[in-house]
Amino acid sequence: MSPLSADKHGLARAWQQQTRDSRDTLFLLLGIAATLAPHFAHLPLWASAITALILGWRGLLAWTSRPLPGRWMLVLVLSISVGLTWLSHRSLIGREAGVTMLVMLMALKTLELRARRDAFVVFFLGFFLVLTNFLYSQSLLTAAWTLLCVWALLSAVVLAQMPVGQPSIKLAAGLAARSTMFGLPVMLLLFMLFPRIAPLWGLPADAVGRTGLSNQLDFGAMSEIANDDGIAMRLRFQGEPPPPAARYFRGPVLAQFDGRSWRPAGQNWPGASDNLQVQGPALNYELTVEPLRIQVLPLLEMSPQTVGSELDLGGISVTRSPELQWTAPRPITERLRLNAQAFFDYRHGPLQPRLALQNYLELPPGRNPRSLQWAADLRRQPRFAGMSAEQISPALAAAVLQHLATADFAYTLAPGRYGEVTPHLIDEFWFDRRLGFCEHFSAAFVVMMRAMGVPARIVTGFQGMDPLPQDGYWIVRNSHAHAWTEIWVSGRGWQRVDPTAAVAPERIRQGQALQPAPGALGAALGQLNPDLWRSLRGGWETLNNRWQQLVLNYSRQDQFDLLKSVGIASPDWLALGRVSAVLIALLALGGGIWSIWSSRPRDAWSRQRAQVVRALRGLGLDAAPHQGPRQWATLLQQRFGAEAAAPSLDLLAELEQSRYSPAAAPQGWRDRLRWRLALRQALRRLRHTADPASGASAPPHPSSSH
């Protein structure tokens, strides 16, 4: 036998030699550890470490059957936990602090498992912690994991309800699984009919800020987005999707520059981007957006308005800002599904110069002197001298783009950090290193255009989609994040200019996502089969999309549509509540009937015994289920005499013969019914004999009626 096999057999024997209390405690600790595991990703490091140490310590005490620590030790650890929670969150209330304290209380409570009531406190804390997992993620993996945790906790509850002997964990797990299956219909009905009350229903949400977009743009920060190829949006078009070069999803518009960071336009910049005019056919599409950390909803350029009433942001209304962003009053932390439309033939912004346009010419004083000088030299070239106001801005933009295309600029996701040697970031990029990606080119382009007197700004969002749809949905990933620019042209308004297209045209023409270096797993799978990793990821994302579309995006409108499908012409909250109440009442009634039915004896002999016992007790006899027909006959004979009880005695003898005689054939249901009616009539005559004043028509005792 190998050493590994010997170790396994040794652990199995040691497990079997554990007492029931130790075994059940260890199983409960495993369930608690599984429940707490998802929380370790967002708990403070000290909380995760202390929780792991406490659970490990409690498991060691259970394995070695050692006594639990005293209360002073628990008070000390609790005091330290409260103090560290305050230092970490500056509060003891709220989601983060509350979950931290709840985890610590759960861990400490395992050190007080001295009685069954302590175990039940741990059970219910565990169920509540399972629920708190959804405050951070509603993904399919989270749902599957929490279902396993609930199963483990229910199995521990079943074990606690079996006080005799040492029942197997397998038996308890089977009973817990059956109980869970019985509760699934109620869960399904509550999911389908329980009112979606915003914004409570939108909380929880998946982790905020996974799109990589922000309300400001720091020079070089977008390189981190390339490492996240998670899904940002899913789209389904009514017709053909737009061409790759038109797949721009407009997000935050940034206009203020301090030399390193770009921020949105100030509130004192009104009126510079109104007058949206669209023409031509509209492209209608359905959009599912993952949770954002920004207040801007990225929509295809240009989206003048949303269509219909399906835009539901958990009670938040979005409005179009002067920069043509769709903004909400707070960050969007819920997964959204909406219908929208886009026009690709549009014009927006003022057609003639306005005072507000001067704000889009501002540059930080004393910064990037070489770039400003380069722009001034370009602007003074004779070829621009005789141009009209309508011609000068496009011509200057074309000259800057030509310089980007012909000089030795390189598009790369690893340009290194700018600004470590000099505060003049644009100078360093434009003249010295010339390495960067979309935000570097866009920021430098806007600075050059402003230096030449052309109003310009940066637009961030997404550009491009996956080359093929999944499950009918086109995928926009976080790595499709992009930055481009807009310049103001007299007589035409704001015009999109994408400087990245001058250096890396394939990035725009094909809508390619930012491609980071593959990880170890991706590189290994790529060498085995280049399409394997892509296929695995696509299959998982398709499954996850089904989960999101059918479960997470099940909305109030879907509930009302369900009521319409069952014949309710004008569904509202009152109708939804009535249907829910009726179905829950029917389920409760059905559950009660099933409980009564399942408590009845399963076999015919047991049912006959129960019927005889009830009938004899109705006559005042002390009959018991463990007795047999002979003992029951003796009770009748002692109470009523052999002559009066003769018919009943014969029937009981027949019952004994049918049950215990080797030559007896199994009774059919007709024989059992005949025998039961005969016994009822015989016992009724005995009751009449015992109480002659009642008359022959006196009703039988309720206990003997079958």
Lowest mean pLDDT among 294-298, 466-470, 655-659: 655-659
Alpha carbon distance 138, 69 (integer Å)? 38
Q: What is the DSSP string of 193-252?
A: HS---TTGGG-S-SPTT-S---SSEETTGGGGGGG---EEEEEEESSSPPPGGG-EEEEE
According to the model, what pLDDT value does residue 525 have?
52
CA distances from 228 to 216, 224, 290, 478 (A): 19, 8, 13, 6
Res 453 pLDDT > 90: yes
Q: Which helix (H) or strand (E) holds 487?
A: strand 481-489
According to the model, what pLDDT value does residue 15 have?
63
SS3 (DSSP) at 331: coil
According to the model, what pLDDT value does residue 509 have?
59
Give the mean pLDDT of the chain.
79
* pLDDT, tens only, 482-510: 899 999 999 899 999 999 988 888 766 55
Lowest mean pLDDT among 82-91, 98-107, 151-160, 227-236: 227-236
Categorize the per-residue pLDDT at 512 as very low, low, confident or very high, splitting at 50, 70 and 90.
Answer: low
According to the model, what pLDDT value does residue 122 have?
86
- The pTM score is 0.58
Report the pLDDT averaged over residues 635-660: 84
According to the model, what pLDDT value does residue 427 have?
92
Res 421 pLDDT > 90: no
Q: Which helix (H) or strand (E) holds 557?
A: helix 556-565
Categorize the per-residue pLDDT at 10 as very low, low, confident or very high, splitting at 50, 70 and 90.
Answer: low
Categorize the per-residue pLDDT at 618 as very low, low, confident or very high, splitting at 50, 70 and 90.
Answer: confident
* CB 610, CB 625: distance < 8 Å: yes
Q: Compute the Cα dihedral for 440, 443, 449, 451 and give only its sign.
A: negative
Please indicate whether residue 138 or residue 387 has the higher confidence score (pLDDT). Answer: 387
Categorize the per-residue pLDDT at 209 as very low, low, confident or very high, splitting at 50, 70 and 90.
Answer: very low
According to the model, what pLDDT value does residue 309 have?
31
Res 7 pLDDT > 60: no
Nearest to 378 by CA among 329, 445, 301: 445
SS3 (DSSP) at 282: coil
Highest mean pLDDT among 16-25, 445-454, 687-696: 445-454
* CB 494, CB 275: distance < 8 Å: no
Nearest to 272 by CA among 493, 443, 454: 493
Res 205 pLDDT > 50: no
Report the pLDDT averaged over residues 46-73: 88
Res 88 pLDDT > 50: yes
According to the model, what pLDDT value does residue 16 have?
65
Lowest mean pLDDT among 17-26, 203-212, 431-440: 203-212
Res 515 pLDDT > 60: no
Res 398 pLDDT > 50: yes
Q: Which helix (H) or strand (E) holds 485?
A: strand 481-489
Res 454 pLDDT > 50: yes
Res 288 pLDDT > 90: no
Lowest mean pLDDT among 32-46, 313-327, 357-371, 468-482: 313-327
Alpha carbon distance 330, 461 (integer Å)? 18
Categorize the per-residue pLDDT at 578 as very low, low, confident or very high, splitting at 50, 70 and 90.
Answer: confident
Report the pLDDT averaged over residues 643-667: 79
Report the pLDDT averaged over residues 338-355: 87
Alpha carbon distance 427, 422 (integer Å)? 9
According to the model, what pLDDT value does residue 200 have?
45
According to the model, what pLDDT value does residue 311 have?
44
According to the model, what pLDDT value does residue 67 have?
85
Alpha carbon distance 255, 261 (integer Å)? 10
* CB 346, CB 486: distance < 8 Å: no
Share of the chain above pLDDT 90, in %: 15
Categorize the per-residue pLDDT at 700 as very low, low, confident or very high, splitting at 50, 70 and 90.
Answer: very low
* CB 321, CB 268: distance < 8 Å: no
Categorize the per-residue pLDDT at 703 as very low, low, confident or very high, splitting at 50, 70 and 90.
Answer: very low
Res 530 pLDDT > 90: no
Please indicate whether residue 396 or residue 114 has the higher confidence score (pLDDT). Answer: 396
Distance between terminal CA atoms of the chain? 65
Res 692 pLDDT > 80: no
